[in-house]
Amino acid sequence: MDVQKLYQQKLVSAKEAVKVVKSGDWVDYGWCCNHPYDLDIALAARKDELYDVKLRGGVTMWVPEVAKAEDAADHFTWNSWHCTGADRKVIQAGVGYFAPMRYSELPRFYRDGNATVDVAMIQVTPMDAHGNFNYGLSASHLADMLSVAKTIIVEVNENQPWVYGLTGSEINIRDVDFVVEGSNPPVAAMGAAGEPTEIDKAVAQKIVEEIPDGACLQLGIGGMPNAVGAMIAQSDLKDLSVHTEMYVDSFYEIAKAGKITGKRKALDKGRQVYAFAAGTKEMYDYINRNPDVMCAPIDYTNDVRVIAQIDNFISINNAIDMDLFGQVNAETAGTRHISGTGGQLDFVMGAYLSRGGKSFVCMSSTITDKQGNLKSRIAPVLNSGSVVTDPRSCVHYLVTEYGMVNLKGLATWERAEQIISIAHPDFRDELIQEAEKLHIWRRSNKR
């Protein structure tokens, strides 16, 4: 097979490629930094010719062009698998919706026919000598999504890093319908985290003290996981490894500090395994053709059964709020959607099943509202409309700046006592009164 000849036969402009999209189609943009750029612009330009075109994406790094027009909702509907600020803007503009999921199940949605794909268009690396395009920063669910797509369009971006991976990280020219040579924009970056607050540092210190040498790390997005990463990079810990959903700059900083070797890892020894990445250009340069880093499909990275096979697995994730029963909300502010379940529940469960594993859900004890009022993030019950990301039966460790508690094996009254002990002191008496009304407070509890 002459791959170069095949490439030239399939090479078209973005304007020509998007002509395959018809009214009523489902169009999949892939995931995060793989969302198309020039193809999106070209599709948006066809707005007046189309109606009821339904699009999918996730962890969106910029507002898609198809969602920017004043009358965009008359032509396009954006569906996000996991919300970012860009997705929230699209939803608030009335052009989009959220699609709830446990991220590890996403590939199966395509395999089982729950997610139809008429046209798929994603960013990829330039083709190699064997006719392969690498998915770059994301493996995620892309292989399964492309396997059911009726038409596949790849948009080549010379700036996409080539990341080694398992099956599901590349597509061959023979399986592609159209190739578009894009304008090669810089790969979308997620800015480096700002300086951690004193609360971030206090929470991070408590968690780092629980991490043994040889541990395997998963870090979520946010200030506190970043603070943990920074503290690990400056610690005396050694022979750490990585198995995570999202690869963030913290892992690069820990690796740069010489703390990651993967020597004690039971699976994928020596490899930092992840499903998708977003961060700074420095991090992208680090993972580019780096044999120490491996991108894998999400139903591998987030599979509870896989995670459980890795000893001393340490999972660290953020929460928005929690209640006295131990239910954790990490995705909404009441009915307003913020992010998604993602892989948090997968890692909460998987880490606990790991021999020596620990799952930490962390947050500051309070938040200041727009009126300047201090409010407790620990409530008697979750706010109306709040989503339970982690059921009370699954939560392991909860951490605030006031302490760390292990909820495993505790009755409701014990849970209430422990959770109140890490609440802000100004709210503890009120929480005790509410716990009494809920019949989850014993007279013998400490006051």
- List the catalytic residues: 245
The partner residues of 56 in beta bridges, in order of sequence, read: 28, 79
3-class SS at 56?
Answer: strand
Buried residues in 361-390 as b, exposed as e (16+ CB within 10 A): bbbbbbeeeeeeeeebbbbbebeeebbbbb
Q: What's the N-to-C CA distance of the chain in angstroms? A: 76
Nearest to 246 by CA among 214, 223, 213, 278: 278
Q: Quote the CA–CA distance of 123 and 137 in Å, as a whole number.
A: 10
Pairing of strands 358-362, 313-318: parallel
Q: What is the DSSP string of 261-329?
A: --TT-SSSTT-EEESEE---HHHHHHHTT-TTEEE-BHHHHT-HHHHTTSTTEEEEEE-SEEETT--EE
3-state secondary structure of 69: coil
User: Residue 9: which H helix or E strand, with range?
Assistant: helix 3-10
**How far is Cα 152 from Cα 150, in angstroms, rounded to an integer?**
7
Closest CA to 315 of 256, 265, 362: 362
CA distance linking residue 158 with residue 189, whole number of Å = 15
Report how far residue 227's alpha carbon sits from residue 229's, in angstroms, rounded to the nearest whole number.
Answer: 5
Q: Measure the CA–CA gap between 389 and 384, rounded to whole angstroms.
A: 14
Look up residue 125 and give its two tokens.
Answer: 């690396």
Positive or negative CA dihedral for 435, 440, 444, 446? negative
Q: Within 10 A of 2 (CB to CB), how many other CB atoms are there?
A: 9
| Main-chain dihedrals φ then ψ at residue 233, nearest 5 degrees | -60, -30
Instruction: Please list, in sequence order, all residues whose beta carbon lies within 8 angstroms of the beta carbon of residue 370, skipping any fewer than 6 positions away.
Output: none
- Nearest residue to 298 (alpha-carbon basis) of 77, 25, 34: 34
CA distance 294 to 176: 24
CA 372 from centre of chain:
31
Q: What is the rounded CA–CA span in Å between residue 309 and residue 385?
A: 36
